[in-house]
Amino acid sequence: MTAAMEAETPSFSVKAPTVTAPAPGLYVRQTSGLVRSVGPRTALFANLVGMGIIVNYFWVVFASAGYPNADLVTTVAIGVLINVGVGFVYWMLASSMPRSGGDYVFLGRIFHPSIGLGTNLLFTVVFVTWAGYFAYYTAIFGLPTMFAAYSVAGGGATALSWAATLASSLTDQLLVAVFVLLLVVLVSLLPTKWIFRTVVGIFVLSAIIYVIMLGVLLSTSQSAFATDWNAVNTGVYSYSALSASVAGTTNITLAGTFLGIVYTMLSFIGYANSSYYGGEIRGNPTRTQGLAIFGAPLIFAVLIGALYAATYATFGRNFLIGVSDSYLTGGFSTAVPSPLFLAAYILHGDPILAGFLSFGLILTFFGFALVYFIVPTRNLFSWSFDRILPVAFAKVNRHGVPWVAVIVLAVASLIVIYVGVYTTLLDYLSYSNFGFWLAVGLVCLGGALFPFIRPKLFQSSPQIVQARIGRVPIITIVGVASWISAWFVSYAASTAQYVEPSGAYSYGYLIFLPIVFVIGVVGYWISRAIQMSRGLPMDLINRELPPE
């Protein structure tokens, strides 16, 4: 693995953007201080870890119960079309503006830095929340599922009691979540190459679990699983009873499938992560970001398409919907009926393998926590580098790690964990897809207008960015289509069927992220006024790309 990573070298070069050299003193310093150590395959693996190549073995429970009329395999085909378009826009913008900060830099230089900060702050709030919340998910879903799978497969009742204790003890959940987050912070303070070697290790182990799980499913017939299931579960929880409990409500419809793309789209999130640490991409940014941003959704679509198809084939669609609905309405309670857990009934007599497969959830949640902790640290670094935040946030250690940003966000993530364990405030995450895809649509709109609003920067971009069909830039065509598609997903993620299928609808949570966007816009103007009063030429800073 190490040798493969070290072998990543650019095979060709393209014309890099040429911008007027910034005047001395405009930025914190004339070099970012970040270390360019991330190659194409590493960036690809990191983006796939941020997407979670086995997380749909978890989300399928919520997707099945919430969208019984959706064919999840078909949602992958719809989702990949949307995400390849969005990925293309991010790829082109990351090639034209290969700096850390992602959409903060893109929209800040295309529209206005206030728009860039508002959009980037929205994403940053979501990512920081995820970093803390997925550490918490390790405690409430990851470990209990692994313990329960080990027990069901023949590992004894003790493990099942551990699962029950952890699921009911807030103190234990807090301790586990804090421990996971501290591991994330420690890894984030390592030299950049070791951070990403850790991420690659997570990808490799996740891929092994994915392959083994797929093999278990493909080698097990539906009738064989039903027999294994019924050996433990009887009465209302028997295979036939759970399947029959949703009979007549699971007919696949076109409308149901289109609305049901929301969990699939949630899974696709992550392929643009490498744009946020563009200042640490080595070699040719067009090549690296093309593989990482444009290639990741294509690879991911194949993986989750096969995952959904194998899950339906082995467990049966009606059973999966029935057991998922039973779990979410307080019926079946042994563990969240993730296919990784359901496989334990097939693997009776092999508790080690059953526990290892469910360990995939823990690994996935840790990977999410790590990746979505790294990304916002680079955002804070970028804001500070442009003097929107105090310059201290742009400090890097001798390994090129923005350690101040790491410490600040570590505190923020710890607060998120505490809030998640002891309050319901993080329920806003149920509504976060609405705001998230609104912001993605704004980035796509920026890409569409880029050639016309910033023609000089566009014309100095690599030739692939300037490609046209006739007289119309391809990025404009794809950007418009992706903008419309992203806002459709935003609409689908705002419906009560998705956010509150069995409870009260909260408009306060719905508008939380749009309010965060407004706070970012206003915050920029406040910062600008303060810095301009000190004689700092903010308008000049925001017309230039930051130094590398």
Q: What is the pLDDT of residue 431?
A: 85
User: Tens digit of pLDDT per residue, the chain (548 long)?
Assistant: 433 333 333 333 334 444 444 544 566 545 655 667 788 899 999 999 999 999 999 999 999 998 999 999 999 999 999 999 999 999 999 999 888 888 999 999 899 999 999 999 999 999 999 999 999 999 999 999 999 999 999 999 999 999 999 988 999 999 999 999 999 999 999 998 899 999 999 999 999 999 999 999 999 999 999 999 999 999 999 999 999 999 889 999 998 898 888 888 888 998 999 998 887 788 888 999 999 999 999 999 999 999 999 999 999 999 999 999 999 999 999 999 999 999 999 999 999 999 999 999 999 999 999 999 999 998 998 888 888 888 888 888 887 788 999 999 999 999 999 998 999 888 888 888 889 999 999 999 999 999 999 999 999 999 999 999 999 999 999 999 999 999 998 988 888 777 776 567 788 888 899 999 999 999 999 998 998 888 877 777 666 666 55
b/e code 32-63 from CB counts within 10 Å (16+ = b): bbbbbbbbbbbbbbbbbbbbbbbbbbbbbbbb
Burial-class residue 399 by CB neighbours within 10 Å (0-12, 13-18, 19+).
middle
Q: What is the pLDDT of residue 33?
A: 58
CA distances in angstroms from 495 to 259, 260, 262, listed in the order given: 9, 11, 10
User: What's the pLDDT at 409?
Assistant: 94
pLDDT recorded at residue 525 = 94
**What pLDDT does residue 21 have?**
47
Taking alpha carbons only, the member of 258, 306, 343 closest to residue 73 is 306
436 touches 270 (CB < 8 A): no
Q: Which residue in this structure is represented by tokens 């992560």?
A: 273
Burial class (CB in 10 A: 0-12, 13-18, 19+), 297: buried
- Alpha-carbon span 279 to 36, nearest angstrom: 6
Tokens representing residue 253 in the block: 């419809």
Read off the tokens for 538.
């903010």
Cα dihedral 473, 477, 480, 482 in deg (nearest 10) = -120
> Which residues are CB-contacts of 447 (< 8 A; sequence separation ≥ 6)?
89, 90, 92, 93, 106, 110, 475, 476, 478, 479, 482
